[in-house]
Amino acid sequence: MTPKIGAPGDGITRREFVAATGTTGAVAAAGCMTTTDPTVEERGNAASTLSQSMPTTSPPEVVDLNEQGNSVTLKTVRAAHRAHPGESMGGPVDLPMVWAWQADDGDPSVPGPILRIDEGSEFEVTLDNSEAQMPHTFHLHGIHKTWENDGVPTTTGITVGPGETHTYEFTANVPGTHIYHCHYQTPRHMEMGMYGTLRVDPQGYEPADKEYFMTVKEWDSRLSRQLAGQDATYDITNRRPDVFTINGKCAPRTLNPEDGSPIVVSSGDTVRLHWINAGFRSHPLHMHNHRFEVVERDGSQVPDAARYKRDVQSVSPAERYTVEFEADADPGIYLMHCHKVDHVRNGSSYPGGMLTGIVYEEAMDTDIFADLMEYAGYEG
């Protein structure tokens, strides 16, 4: 599969990106940019983990289950997560330890891989916890499943312990966009990054010209820092989010074409975005100079008569919205961000955080775009 530029989905190729920028690729200069408390065992394990080399997360990949026998293995991996590794705009922003998902032989990512399958297909997800030091489970929203495959340890009696694997069996019987996550000590494990997306394409699905997946989340970084052995104490009763991400990245890293999630379009495109909220707070998502329609919500089609044009949609925790718009603006660069504007920051630095952009290919050869790439740390 040819790597794509932009958010997970149907971006342009790197060759097309370089051609659109009018450069040889060197756009920016290097260097610019049960209980919910951790147990004693986990804190001790953190020190031993950090004494070893942890992998660094990669952007989430789209895994087409139809092309690989309707099955996937999701391995649990401890990793370092660089939400914005540059020094511009309040960076660097790092989560020194996350609990990531890795699909088969791919890279660990936060969010986890986007699993895609056709409606009506039976599929399997094997949770590989063989190298983990704590239990995990796999819980999937949206589709109908048998009791033992619900992924909740207290009601199914199934917990995937350290050193174990377990295969969950499903039927893709509810089309739409759904969220999955670990349901063992849920607030803590989701806070550490254990969430992802399942997309079930309905029968007769007609793709848009461009289609992208975007998961938003706010984080209280104290949990990551505490489990990494740093001087921090997490308190679930006094959660204080201080990191705000789209597909795991903070602006300006969100605009990095290879590591972030810019919405790359061409004039006249029909663009389809799948918005997922994996956080604990609602996020009103707003796009500049474009008006969209909500066409799906939580796996249900929105009837034509109920659709209307808007430019902001609040997405509550675990909700999923699929929106469509036409790339009919003056070709340029336009923001998309949470309109709780205190979420558009890195620490006390504004802008940052939960912000990305709609980028027209026709605007990629401008000085303004080159400046944005420098902020985003794109090195070509």
What's residue 44's pLDDT?
A: 46
- For 52-84, b where at least 16 C-beta lie within 10 A, e where not — what string? eebeebbbbbbbebeeeeeebebbbbbbbbbbb
Quote the mean pLDDT of the chain.
91
Q: Determine the average pLDDT of the residues in 307-334.
A: 98
CA distance 63 to 72: 8
Residue 49 has pLDDT above 70, yes or no: no
CA distance 202 to 186: 30
What's residue 2's pLDDT?
A: 57
What's residue 166's pLDDT?
A: 98
Q: Determine the average pLDDT of the residues in 230-238.
A: 96
What's residue 379's pLDDT?
A: 82
Q: Determine the average pLDDT of the residues in 264-281.
A: 98
Over the stretch 141-160, which tens digit does the pLDDT of each residue have? 999 999 999 999 999 999 99
- State which amino acid sits at residue 87: E
What's residue 42's pLDDT?
A: 52
Q: Determine the average pLDDT of the residues in 283-292.
A: 98
What residue has token string 């209280």? 220
Q: Determine the average pLDDT of the residues in 180-193.
A: 98
Over the stretch 327-379, which tens digit does the pLDDT of each residue have? 999 999 999 999 999 999 999 999 999 999 999 999 999 999 999 999 999 98
CA distance 263 to 32: 22
What's residue 6's pLDDT?
A: 75
Is the CB of residue 332 less than 8 Å from the CB of residue 360? yes
Residue 307 CB partners (closer than 8 Å, separation 6+) = 293, 294, 295
Over the stretch 15-32, which tens digit does the pLDDT of each residue have? 777 777 776 444 433 333
Residue 52 has pLDDT above 70, yes or no: no
Cα three-residue angle 115-120-126, rounded to 5 degrees: 40
What's residue 50's pLDDT?
A: 53
What's residue 48's pLDDT?
A: 44
Residue 3: pLDDT band (50, 70, 90) is: low
Name the pTM for this structure: 0.90
Q: Determine the average pLDDT of the residues in 299-313.
A: 96
- Give the chain's length: 380
Which among 114, 125, 106, 193 is positioned nearest to 165, based on CA atoms? 125
Q: Per the structure block, which two tokens stand in for 11?
A: 């971006």
